[in-house]
Chain A
């Protein structure tokens, strides 16, 4: 471990200028500089077709980058795949199973594919993984009879066959019922507490907000933001919300103090807080002063506060409102 920190690559996942251009000429991922700190639960966000899956496939050595490099647990991919991947568990683009094998035999097969897996502990490890995802009772059923949620759990179990340093989970709660989603989320937290870095791609922003410490946002092959979830949410500035029976007066006073983008909705006035006070050299606007100013001007204030921006606001601000899938 000492060795790693002196090398300065304590990132679980790191890419530099990672680019993938498909044979048709389509640029799927463009110069991606991603850095996933060890120990983090990292949310990987982006609209459909933004290059998330291509990125994950490049990280896992399934597709060759056109240019740039990727490091997993400090080692170059795909060159060091043999030594790195046994320490990485992955769920990529949904589960894939042998329908004619039982759940248990599916896991035995995937475990046999790992040359570092000890065959003597194979059976207990498979049972433990099944138990961990709540599939112990259905382990003897043919995978063809599994529901999507059960398949998803089995896919997760395959990722947990060995103790992992990094888990790459692509849409892990897809197809799960609300209880299943909760279970997976608590499983992810549990794993994170054990020290496993979790790289989680999801389109469910609530989910990311609930479990992730860090996040990155992709759009059209570009990385447009990354940082802690709190930073990202703060990036889209909060809005001031004033509830008052005198909205017209409130708007006037607020405008004088530099609040922009004012919207009146019945008794609710909201607006964008300025970066600094009215004078350019002023210190950042103190919310209490703003409230005092409203009251001094005779505006009756029922509620006053800054509404914290959610990750969803940040996401939409970054990727745009458009619903169209990126071409």
Chain B
């Protein structure tokens, strides 16, 4: 019957493959039409165990960073961040265009945002005002979205399994994701700072800067301090970034991880503002965030700055280890 005929050639082929196997399999010398790639490859294969490239970590990190940066969502978030200093600058400019001082009637309660009243005197204060305005919500939200999606999003899309069988290596992939998160803390902060500096320079006068403690320093030194402030703000975000990465290892839904991380930021801020809960305040990651202002004193008040960095380091250590423990043991079922 026809079935039997069909089976004929295949059975025959099965035979030849079996016979041919010891000679061809594993020698890495495939058929001729593979072309010139063959030569290089045979040599490579002769060494048998593939040698990892010394720059392995860098290649994946670069791929990670560019992939994240090429997402429309990332660009939109960074765009919003760039817009905030412009909005603040424009608002201050409009409100003070009649020659009046900022805040007008409501300045009386004395709790207006720090640095805002100084913007009209010196554009560089727009950098500090913008960072102070974005640090409590916008910046951690952006970081929460990016880190929350980092692993859960890839798991949900299924690309995680292909990265892992490439094989990216779980620790290596997590390290690349962590480094990318850290890079984004810096990128996001620098975007706010640069946008603030440019807007401030355009709309307001620049010049020597009077620090919070009343001492005047040159504009150059003020710029250096602004850079220091930006670095401090970026470092203030590494805690929530690591928490976001850990949450990201818990689920296969990027949206859920993002929402949880952003929710956590809001919750921590609320708890931090309830006086009755002061006992736990020193352990909340946003508690010392606004301490970056102490860098604008002469002499600098290091106390809270150091506490902030220590706390962020603690969060990185605890949640980084938790993320590693979870991710390296996780069954990838999506």
Mask: chain A, 41-69; 1 = CB below 8 Å from B; 0 = not: 10000000000000001001111100000
Bound CA–CA A32/B20 (angstroms): 28
Does chain A have a CB within 8 A of B262? no
Instruction: Known contacts A57-B333, A115-B53, A305-B1; decide if A90 and B165 are in contact (CB<8 Å).
Output: yes
Bitwise interface map of A from 106 to 122 toward B, beta carbon under 8 Å scored 1, else 0: 00111111111111010
Neighbouring A residues of B10 by C-beta, 8 Å? 209-210, 213, 229-230
* Contact call A116/B1, Cβ cutoff below 8 A: no
How many residues does chain A have at the interface if contact means C-beta atoms less than 8 Å apart? 72
User: Counting CB contacts under 8 A, is B28 at the interface?
Assistant: yes
Q: Are A38 and B165 in contact (CB under 8 A)?
A: no
Please tell me which one of the listed residues B7, B49, B63 contacts residue A308 in the complex, with CB atoms under 8 A apart: B7
A119 touches B14 (CB 8 A): no
Which residues on A sit within 8 Å (CB–CB) of B80? none
The verdict on B60 contacting chain A, using a C-beta distance below 8 Å, is yes
Query: In the complex, how many angstroms separate the beta carbon of A204 from the nearest chain B beta carbon?
Result: 15
The answer to whether the Cβ of B281 comes within 8 Å of any Cβ in the partner chain is no
A98 touching B18 in the complex, CB below 8 Å, given contacts A116-B52, A119-B59, A165-B25: no
Query: Does A233 sit at the interface, judged by CB under 8 A?
Result: yes
Beyond A115-B53, A115-B172, whether A110 also contacts B21 by CB under 8 A is no
Contacts of A210 in B (CB 8 A): 10
Contact with A along B151-173 (1 / 0, CB 8 A): 00000011101111111110011
Q: Given B26, B40, B158, B163, which contacts A121 in the complex, CB threshold below 8 Å?
A: B40
Given contacts A83-B49, A83-B50, A194-B34, contact A109 B67 (CB under 8 A): yes
Residues of B near A81 (CB, < 8 A) are 167, 169
Which residues 270-318 in B have Cβ within 8 Å of A in the complex? Answer: none
A-chain residues with CB within 8 Å of residue B157 when the two chains form the complex? 96-99
Quick one: closest A residue to B21, CB to CB?
A39
Residues of A within 8 A of B28 (CB): 163, 165, 195
A296 to B163, CA, bound (A): 70
CA distance A176 to B312 in the complex (A): 51
Q: Which residues of A contact B17 (CB under 8 A)?
A: 39-41, 192, 213
C-alpha gap A121/B38 in the complex (Å): 13
Determine whether the beta carbon of B158 is less than 8 Å from that of A82: no
The answer to whether B30 touches A109, judged by C-beta atoms less than 8 angstroms apart, is: no
A-B contact count (CB 8 A): 181
* Assembled-state Cα–Cα distance A5/B21 (Å): 12
Nearest residue (CB) in B for A41 is B17
B332 pairs with A62, CB closer than 8 A: yes
From B50, B63, B333, contact of A112 by CB (8 A): B63
Contact B25 A163, beta carbon cutoff 8 Å: no
Residue pair B26, A165 in contact (C-beta under 8 Å): yes
Chain B interfacial residues counted at CB < 8 A: 60
Taken residue by residue from 49 to 67, chain B's Cβ proximity to chain A (1 for < 8 Å, 0 otherwise) reads as: 1111101100110110001
Closest B residue to A109 by beta carbon equals B63
Q: A115-B169, A308-B3 are in contact. Are A96 and B52 (CB under 8 A)?
A: no
Whether A57 contacts B168 by the Cβ 8 Å rule is no
Q: Is A173 an interface residue (CB 8 A)?
A: no
- Let me know if A267 is at the binding interface, CB within 8 A: no
CB of A177 closer than 8 Å to a CB of B: no
Query: Which A1-43 residues have a C-beta within 8 angstroms of B?
Result: 1, 4-5, 10, 37-41
Q: Residue B173 contacts which of A61, A101, A113, A119 (CB distance < 8 angstroms)?
A: A113
* From A38, A88, A98, A307, contact of B1 by CB (8 A): A307
| Chain A: minimal CB distance from B328 (Å) | 10
Residues of B within 8 A of A97 (CB): 157, 159
A274 to B109, CA, bound (A): 102
A96–B159 contact, CB under 8 A?
A: yes
Chain B minimum-CB-distance residue to A120: B53
Docked complex Cα distance between A238 and B70 (Å): 60
Top 5 nearest A-B pairs (CB, nearest first) are: A96-B158, A39-B21, A194-B30, A116-B50, A115-B56
Query: Could you list 13 examples of A-B contacts with CB < 8 Å?
Result: A57-B333, A61-B164, A62-B164, A64-B329, A85-B166, A92-B162, A95-B158, A108-B63, A113-B163, A163-B45, A194-B24, A195-B21, A228-B11
Interface residues of A (CB under 8 A from B): 1, 4-5, 10, 37-41, 57, 60-64, 81-83, 85-88, 90, 92-101, 108-119, 121, 124-125, 128, 155, 158, 163, 165, 190, 192-197, 209-210, 213-214, 228-230, 233, 305, 307-308, 310
